[in-house]
């Protein structure tokens, strides 16, 4: 009897977590991978003019600079000398990027499956990619936890919801 009650309870909990529409119908979210060729990924990082933030992620502060991740797009760079008035300066385009670590003037960027090393000199405003370690990270997972399939030399940089 206890096993049956436990089984019913677990089943109820599982069903209650399933996504539904407003009218109570069960839904299933499906995602499509955004894929680019390895060669395109390796030449995709670019230092650009400031842009508006679309989907903000993690925030990093280094000295008088603030870096705001635009999830899977890159990093917005702000002058943060006056925290009450950050000034938008640049955008580092890095498709598939979600994370950043900084030590001295060296940045370590998680760009999809690669770990990219770059330097940034705020005085000269020079940004330079100095190294790329390929396939350090696994392919990006969909928001629903599934994985996509790619051919050799294809990289998933994002996922889009299929409507």
Band (163; pLDDT cuts 50, 70, 90): confident
Model confidence at 154: pLDDT above 90 = yes
Rounded CA-CA distance 135/18 in Å is 34
pLDDT at 6: 61
Model confidence at 20: pLDDT above 70 = no
pLDDT at 126: 87
Model confidence at 17: pLDDT above 70 = no
CB 29 within 8 A of CB 19: yes
pLDDT at 45: 97
Model confidence at 102: pLDDT above 70 = yes
Q: Is 1 exposed, middle or buried (0-12, 13-18, 19+ CB in 10 A)?
A: exposed
Residues above pLDDT 90, as percent of the chain: 73
pLDDT at 9: 60
Q: How far apart are the first and last CA of the chain?
A: 43
The H-assigned helical ranges of 19-107 are: 38-42
Residue in this structure with the two tokens 């943060």, named with its chain if needed = 80
Rounded CA-CA distance 34/154 in Å is 10
Model confidence at 113: pLDDT above 90 = yes
Residues above pLDDT 70, as percent of the chain: 83
Rounded CA-CA distance 18/3 in Å is 23
CB 74 within 8 A of CB 95: yes
Model confidence at 19: pLDDT above 90 = no
Q: What is the pLDDT of residues 1-10, one digit of tens each?
A: 776 766 656 5
Per DSSP, the three-state class of 72 is coil
Residue 29 DSSP code: -
pLDDT at 13: 56
Q: What is the pLDDT of residues 27-56, one digit of tens each?
A: 678 999 999 999 999 999 999 999 999 999
Query: Which of 52, 58, 80 lies closest to 71, judged by CA?
Result: 58
Q: How many CB atoms lie within 10 A of CB 70?
A: 21
User: In Å, how far are 49, 117, 122, 134 from 131, measured between CA atoms?
Assistant: 23, 5, 20, 10
pLDDT at 62: 94
Query: What average pLDDT does this structure show over 59-87?
Result: 96
């Amino acid at each position: 009897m206890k096993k049956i009650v436990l089984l019913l309870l677990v089943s109820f909990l599982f069903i209650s977590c399933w996504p539904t529409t407003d009218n109570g119908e069960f839904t299933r979210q499906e995602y499509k991978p955004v894929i680019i060729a390895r060669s395109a990924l390796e030449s995709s990082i670019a230092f650009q003019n400031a842009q508006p933030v679309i989907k903000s992620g993690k925030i990093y502060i280094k000295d008088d600079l603030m870096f705001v991740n635009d999830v899977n797009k890159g990093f917005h760079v702000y002058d943060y000398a006056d925290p009450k008035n950050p000034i938008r300066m640049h955008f580092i385009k890095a498709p598939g990027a979600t994370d950043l670590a900084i030590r001295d003037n060296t940045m370590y960027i998680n760009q999809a499956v690669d770990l990219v090393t770059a330097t940034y000199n705020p005085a000269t405003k020079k940004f330079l990619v100095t190294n790329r370690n390929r396939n350090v990270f696994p392919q990006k997972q969909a928001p629903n936890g599934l994985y996509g399939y790619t051919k050799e030399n294809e990289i998933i940089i994002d996922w889009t919801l299929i409507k």
